[in-house]
Amino acid sequence: MSTIRDVAKLAGVSVATVSRVINQKGYISKDTEKKIKACMAKLQYSPSSVARGLAGKKTDTIALLIPDITNPFFPEIARAVEDTASSYGITTLLGNCDENGVKELRYLDILKKRYVDGIIFAEHGLTWNEIHGILGSGMPIVSLDRAALSEEVSSVRVNHYQGAVLAVEHLLSIGCRRIAHISGPNHLITSANRNRGYTDTLRNAGCFDPDLVYEGDFSMECGMRVTEQLLKENEGVDGIFTSNDLMAVGALKTLIRSGVKVPEDVALIGFDGISMTQMVEPEISTIAQPIYEIGKQAVFQLIHQIEDRHELPEMTPRVLETKLIQRATTTRF
Amino acid sequence: MSTIRDVAKLAGVSVATVSRVINQKGYISKDTEKKIKACMAKLQYSPSSVARGLAGKKTDTIALLIPDITNPFFPEIARAVEDTASSYGITTLLGNCDENGVKELRYLDILKKRYVDGIIFAEHGLTWNEIHGILGSGMPIVSLDRAALSEEVSSVRVNHYQGAVLAVEHLLSIGCRRIAHISGPNHLITSANRNRGYTDTLRNAGCFDPDLVYEGDFSMECGMRVTEQLLKENEGVDGIFTSNDLMAVGALKTLIRSGVKVPEDVALIGFDGISMTQMVEPEISTIAQPIYEIGKQAVFQLIHQIEDRHELPEMTPRVLETKLIQRATTTRF
DNA sequence: TTGTATGCGTTATCAG
DNA sequence: CTGATAACGCATACAA
């Protein structure tokens, strides 16, 4: 690998001059610029982002930390983030934290020191101390989950509560009255908000029953297991709202295997809007998050923190809304 | 963020001494070591991997480049790689290339210069020139797809050919005679090998029909579309072997929607062994790759290139075999 | 056992 | 317009 010095030597100029043409900064004569560019090409030179990072420059690289790469929701987020970042010449590095605090910290340790220009968290298990540590280090961050939890850390906000309301109202509208809920981990704010939306709506309708709420962990296996338990422990459940799509897929499976007719006996609706809901039969109704928009806004917010000049399309950090997508599992004739 | 110099100052020693305790290298008195460690803790110091990389040291970080993060096979590979790497204290950075040569090169540009200690490619579109460029730069690489294509680049080898043979023999054994194949992109060696396995086996059995071979692109949509076309253009197809599981899921969907009974009318088998095959009803038979083992071997091979000393469990770079997993889509009674 | 000095590849500040 | 040279944070021969 050739360095900036090799180029300088070959071109018969100083490294400073080469650096200038690389960064399009300061004055350089057309002649030397052309000569230098030729030399760079000949040596197949490309600047080291590491050295560049050390020298305090931007690396044009951001990191996206996700909790579980095998949950398709996050790969879809990743694509959105990557797409957007890519269109600004920014490369995205992914870190899979595996719901594991230790790994999360390990990533941070690596990234904090100018490895990347900024970090996007899709759901994190950090303490406030740790977050302040990062913020203090000057590393721009954006969070995808702490909706409205604090003004201190930039985040893209999705109205999970309203999404859950949509889901439950939909189930009510097609005639369901005993509607169960398989929630996500209660310590996650997103999950908790969906839970509230469910509870409130059902209370208003006068058919809330705490026995019908089960805490899940967002995995498909859990969706299967809990649904089994749910069917065993309760009579007359005629609708299920799962806090994410993966659990809905699991639930659907158990329902079919148990000989329960979907949606005739039990209607089913998930949350997220991942494409897997369309891969199964019957296709699963869901509350779709604006996945692409989420990724896009996250990148916008991050870039804004990194530098204010970037001429970005008007930042609209409004709260993003979810959308009901009705499919076979909630369509009764 | 505190630097090594801050620690040195606080501890009243030189940076070299601090560096020694960080790297457990050279002699240091128990006393100063303890003192320095205390200072590091107090300052919440952790060394910058960037500077460390620049200074020619290992970064204990590797990169895994995957072609399509939304194909669940790769997240599963990623988990295996991460798991293994993690157990050796190595952090894995992911890059999603999106089947996009430009992005692939962009990642390489970033990674090449001592950003990471090594790179694992899960399927790449690099030319030999480009590969040599990386090799020449001293960056260790391991490839997951170029099975047996060259001795120059280290790779973990899976017997895709034999896997396809297994699949087709299985279909034959349950009575299928007109067996269609939806292949992957023909320019991918893995996909081509599976295709050969299919063709050879069917030829030997005397029932090969080139009209029943369709080229797909490994996506679910493609699985749906091609299956539709396949049903329209051919009579009496009684078995389908798709070159990966995602296409099998798509195929299954089309079959069910077309009122075709699976497996009574048409049996179906996929390839890869991703867990999604168990999420649908009926569950899909598949040729399972030893996903975890693949990731593990890739990491082992990479570490071996990075440094020879690491006491790794006996390296067994044997060819990995696939395994038939029979499920409902090929179980006739 | 510990300190000094130098280099890693770039950028940035000042002089020419 | 261009060239030295000092950072950036760390590792490492070489001294002490």
- What distance in Å separates the CA atoms of residue B330 and residue A221, rounded to the nearest whole number? 23
**Of A266, A58, A66, the residue nearest A174 (C-alpha):** A266
Say how far A54 CA is from C10 C1', in Å. 8
Res A316: pLDDT: 61
Facing A280 at nearest CB: one of B53, B112, B280:
B280
From the list B200, B122, B123, the residue with the least C-alpha distance to B161 is B200
Pick out the nucleotide with least CA–C1' distance to B6.
D9
Nearest alpha carbon to residue A49 among B106, B331, B249, B79: B106
Cβ B13 to strand C below 7 Å: yes
Query: Average pLDDT, whole number, for chain A?
Result: 91
- For residue A130, give how far its alpha carbon lies from the nearest alpha carbon of chain B (Å): 11
Handedness of CA A188, A190, A196, A201 (dihedral sign): negative
| pLDDT for the residue B332 | 86
Name the nt closest to A8 by C-alpha to C1'. D3
Q: Which residues of A touch B252 (CB under 8 A)?
A: 281
Q: How far is the CA of B114 from the C1' of C8 (A)?
A: 10
State the average pLDDT over residues A104-113: 85
Q: Hey, what's the torsion of the CAs at B88, B93, B98, B99, to 10 degrees?
A: -50
For residue A133, pLDDT beyond 80: no
**Strand runs labelled E in chain B:** 61-66, 91-96, 118-121, 141-143, 179-183, 213-215, 239-242, 267-272, 285-288, 323-325
- Does at least one atom of strand C sit less than 7 Å from the CB of B11? no
Residue with the larger pLDDT of the pair B158 and A124: B158
CA distance B19 to B14: 9
With a pLDDT cut of 90, the percent of chain A lying above it is 70
Q: Output the pLDDT for position A151.
A: 62
Amino acid A309: pLDDT: 47
The protein residue nearest nucleotide D9, judged by CA to C1', is: B51
Interface test with A, best of B22, B102, B110 (most A CBs within 10 A): B110
User: Once rounded to an integer, what is the mean pLDDT over residues B147-159?
Assistant: 74
Tell me the per-residue pLDDT of B105-126, one tens digit each, with 9 for 90 and over.
889 888 877 789 999 999 888 8
CA atoms within 13 A on the CB side of A255: 25
- Please compute the mean of the pLDDT values over residues B240-254 and round it to a whole number: 97
User: Which nucleotide does the CA of B31 lie closest to, via C1'?
Assistant: C1
Is residue A280 scored above 60 in pLDDT? yes
- For testing the chain A interface, which of B96, B119, B227 should be mutated: the one with the most A CBs within 10 Å? B96
Residues of B in contact with A280 (CB under 8 A): 253, 279-281
Q: How far is the CA of A54 from the C1' of D6 (A)?
A: 14
Residue A114: its chain B contacts at CB < 8 A?
Answer: 48, 50
Distance set, CA A177 to CA A213, B115, B246 (Å) = 14, 57, 37
Contacts of B110 in chain A (CB under 8 A): 49, 59, 61, 91
Report yes or no: A233 and A225 within 8 Å, Cβ to Cβ: no
Q: Where is average pLDDT lowest: A23-37, A135-149, B64-78? A: A135-149
Q: What is the mean pLDDT of chain B?
A: 91
Whether nucleic acid strand D comes within 7 Å of the CB of A48, the answer is no
pLDDT at A162 exceeding the cut of 80:
yes
Per-residue pLDDT at B312:
54
Distance A36 CA to D1 C1' (A): 15
Kindly list the structural domains of chain A, giving each domain's residue range(s) and its CATH number in brackets, ordered by start.
4-47 (no CATH), 61-158+291-322 (3.40.50.2300), 160-289+324-330 (3.40.50.2300)
Query: What are the tens digits of pLDDT across the range B25-58?
Result: 888 899 999 999 999 999 988 888 889 888 888 8
pLDDT in tens, A69-90: 999 999 999 999 999 999 998 9
CB contact under 8 A, A110 and B253: no
**Contact: B49, A115; criterion CB under 8 Å:** yes
Distance CA(B140)–CA(A180), nearest Å, equals 53
State yes or no: pLDDT of A295 exceeds 80. yes
Closest by CA to B322, choosing from B264, B261, B272, B253, is: B272
**A20 Cβ nearer than 7 Å to chain D strand:** yes
A153 touches strand D (CB under 7 A): no
As a three-state string, the secondary structure of A88-149 is CCCEEEEEECCCCHHHHHHHHHHHHCCCCCEEEECCCCCCHHHHHHHHHCCCCEEECCCCCC
| Gap from A296 CA to C13 C1', Å | 38
Q: How many residues does chain A have?
A: 333
What pTM was computed for the model? 0.92
| B151, pLDDT greater than 90 | no
The pLDDT value recorded for residue A313 is 57
